[in-house]
């Protein structure tokens, strides 16, 4: 089994943005030259996340509204570490995933026809890094 | 490290159903012939999920009630992609996981005595696919 | 690719406790001797979890309050399996993750500067096991 590593950087133009990164993952898989294996996709920040689901724009609006409904801002938060990032962004990242693992077989990602890989930026307007690490043969 | 790939198909008789698939995962691990490694188990649909927890029937009812409480239907959803599948099913799938990674050592899954692998069908009555991909030696 | 396996045991002095285990994961990675690969970290219990996020104490209090708000105790729970463990602990574990996969490159975990690996004990005061399984070269 061989290993291929790549880092992406995203700087969104809005605080909150969901970016479909499926094509970048496919391109990295092709660069790796592997046909059978898996990809680890990780957000390298505590206030952004990775998730796999449909990419239909209306659904992504529903996802955003849902994240805000289950993890709203609060005056009673204890987190004082960082003025740039308040607790609700961290909780929204926890509700999604810091990492997704996606397998591939015969040169194709093991995703259904309505499944896409997303980078969920919850506190953007600055450079944020995503790891793509591929193991395969 | 070697690779073994298998796909399962489930067609539930109810819209919503939680199926304990631990025995199928164990059987695939035995077919692989590997003793040390890990399994990637993925739902290949955006409105079903994989999760690891206890399989006690009362608890699974509590999980279902909880998914519906945190992700209820809503008239204000923007998702218009598919009449068969409304946003709450996608959100419930996000609340669980699209993929679980389970390690195994000395021919046994690394699960505690009350941990089982489940396929959570959130929008069933039609064929749904699950990937089992095993890496090991 | 080679494999290194280790189990940790935690016995907390409180029912609920979040423990930063990043140093233990780093130590295991160094013992493995691998420089490039990934770690599977799994809770081997249905009422504890693993998550990756900031370790600032105020934030961890916010995480705890959030888990209890989204998964409160309820008189209508159906789970009857175990007097020691009620459903809300299982639901809180599902809200987080049973497993995290963390990659490493050039001998360093692929985590951002504010990302740490945590063991979230939701029903402690007794020995609980965590798996560390490392694949690399």
CB C112 within 8 A of CB A45: yes
Give contacts of A 66-105 with B, CB under 8 A.
Answer: 66, 70, 95-97, 100-103, 105
Residue of C nearest to A136 (CA): C1
CB A130 within 8 A of CB A44: yes
pLDDT of res. C79: 86
Residue of B57, B62, B111 lying closest to C44 (CB–CB): B111
**Alpha-carbon distance C97 to C115, whole Å?**
16
Segments forming the whole domain that contains residue B37: 2-72+90-136
pLDDT of res. B88: 96
CB neighbourhood size of C31 (10 A): 12
CB A59 within 8 A of CB A52: no
Indicate whether A26 belongs to any domain: yes
**Contact check, Cβ <8 Å, C103/A131:** yes
pTM over 0.90: yes
**Alpha-carbon distance B122 to B10, whole Å?**
12
ipTM of the complex as predicted: 0.96
Number of helices and strands in chain C (H, E): 3, 8
Indicate whether A116 belongs to any domain: yes
A87 chain-C contacts, CB cut-off 8 A:
58-59, 62
- DSSP bridge pairs for A20: A118
pLDDT of res. B71: 97
Give the CATH number for residue B8. Answer: 2.60.120.460
Indicate whether C36 belongs to any domain: yes
Indicate whether C77 belongs to any domain: no
pLDDT of res. B108: 98
B89-122: pLDDT as tens digits: 999 999 999 999 999 999 999 999 999 999 999 9
Tell me which residues of chain C have a pLDDT lower than 70.
Answer: 81-85
Total domains, chain C: 1
A14-69: pLDDT as tens digits: 999 999 999 999 999 999 999 999 999 999 999 999 999 999 999 999 999 999 99
Residue of C nearest to B67 (CA): C91
B56-69: pLDDT as tens digits: 999 999 999 999 99
CB neighbourhood size of A18 (10 A): 23
Indicate whether A120 belongs to any domain: yes
Indicate whether A94 belongs to any domain: yes
Chains in contact with A, where contact means 3 or more Cβ–Cβ distances below 8 Å, are: B, C
Indicate whether B28 belongs to any domain: yes
C5 chain-B contacts, CB cut-off 8 A:
36, 103, 105
Residue of B nearest to C132 (CA): B103
Please indicate if any CB of chain B lies within 8 Å of the CB of C135: yes
Taking all residues of chain B, what is their mean pLDDT, rounded to a whole number? 95
Q: Which residues of A2-11 are buried (b: 16+ CB within 10 A; e: fewer)?
A: ebbbeebebe
Residue of C58, C102, C115 lying closest to A81 (CB–CB): C58
Indicate whether A77 belongs to any domain: no
| CA neighbor of A44 nearest in space, from C115, C117, C60, C105 | C115
Please indicate if any CB of chain B lies within 8 Å of the CB of A54: yes
């Amino acid at each position: 089994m061989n290993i291929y590593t790549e880092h992406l950087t995203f700087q969104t133009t809005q605080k909150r943005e969901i970016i479909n990164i499926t094509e970048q993952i496919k391109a990295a898989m092709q660069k790796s030259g592997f046909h059978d294996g898996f990809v680890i996709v990780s957000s390298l920040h505590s206030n952004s996340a990775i998730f796999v689901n449909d990419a239909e724009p209306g659904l992504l609006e529903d996802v955003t509204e849902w994240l805000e409904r289950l993890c709203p801002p609060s005056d009673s938060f204890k987190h004082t570490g960082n003025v740039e990032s308040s607790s609700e962004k961290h909780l929204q990242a926890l509700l999604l995933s810091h990492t997704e693992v996606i397998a591939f077989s015969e040169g194709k990602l093991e995703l259904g026809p309505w499944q896409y890989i997303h980078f969920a930026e919850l506190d953007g307007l600055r450079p944020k890094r995503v790891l793509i690490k591929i193991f395969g043969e």
